[in-house]
Structure 1
Amino acid sequence: MDNKYEYFDKMYEVTGNNSKFGPPSIGICTSEGVALVSMKSRKSKLMITENMDTIYMIDDHIGCVLSGRIADGRVLIDQARVQCQNHRFNYNEKMPVQSCVQTVSAKASEFGNVKDSSLGRPYAVEMLFAGLCNDKPQLWHMDSSGTYMSYGIKSIGNIDETQLETLCTEVNSKQINLYIAISLAKKIIGMDSDVFILQI
């Protein structure tokens, strides 16, 4: 390609599409707490689903689920874990959820940096972060470009957007509690799901 920025845009488009074909996951943030619900991706009947981690603990107040290339996601998760422990060691406090997401975003956006030529493509992964900060539940989404935003309800992976809109309507209109919202999410993505809950 003539322009290097066109190349970067194409790479982000390809990796972004890859992350949309992973197993579906839903993050739900209510006034009572925050939860991640993720379907166990079973590619073979010989696989033991109990040993298939779909939700990762970053610290005792932050959890994460990812969709896309698992190897890429684990690199970013290791980055988040190291930064959380460094923050705890240096400041004797838990790392704020947004600060944790920001450090992962900085790592994910290294692609295209002329100072770091080792990264030949973007990280092909989308991530949902659920955590508590000052007893306030938070849900953050980060895409393959490193862009992150806060949400009340967000999904990643291969999921029907119409069903997610129905879940959003149920949660917002009826102000249902966290556990009923989790039950509704499991109906969308499957009852054989992993659940991570942080409750106030």
Structure 2
Amino acid sequence: MSYILDALNKSEQERERKQTPGLKSLRGEPSPNRFQLRHFLYLLALLAIFNSIGVFIYFGNNSQPETGIAPQAISPSADSLVPANAAAVDTPMTSSSLTAAQPARFPAPVTTGKTGDINDLPAHVIRRLPEIQITTHIFASDTDLRMVNINGVSRREGDLVTNSLLLVEITEDGVVMNFEGYAYAMNILEDWQNNP
């Protein structure tokens, strides 16, 4: 019986070889689309070229082209020289020009001696100190990130709180203020713990 089945299978295979292939008989492996891969590689190369050009333009030669004009040495004229014993002329400044020219932040004034506590100040200075209320204290190692809120206004190091009160420094546990040349430290964290 197996001989008969084998003979039938062989005859069927020979018949299929002689027939023209149908739609179902074409099952070849799909070839990779090299056309799309080639376009992708071209696009990637073009993008790399544009990126290189952009980097060269951005970081490239930013210097001004030479104009061919050499700088000239300027020698002082006889009119511009001032004798060493000439007196300086004082020009009085009006209060309006003084306030308009002052920036909002000032460098810390030079104080002699160590910064003491507010209680170490002379009595006449303590009486004239303006009343301030510090509600927020933010300390960071970066001085640009430090901030305190004094009397409802955010302040940074070097800001004037009043005309005569300067915020010199924001420390880990308080602030250093300068009032009319007297520098003193305020430990506000200790005050907050004592007065909840």
Q: Same fold (TM over 0.5)?
A: no
**Which has the higher Rg, Structure 1 or Structure 2?**
2
**By percentage of residues, which structure has more strand?**
1
Length-normalised TM-score, structure 2: 0.23
Higher RCO structure (Cα 8 Å, ≥6 apart):
1
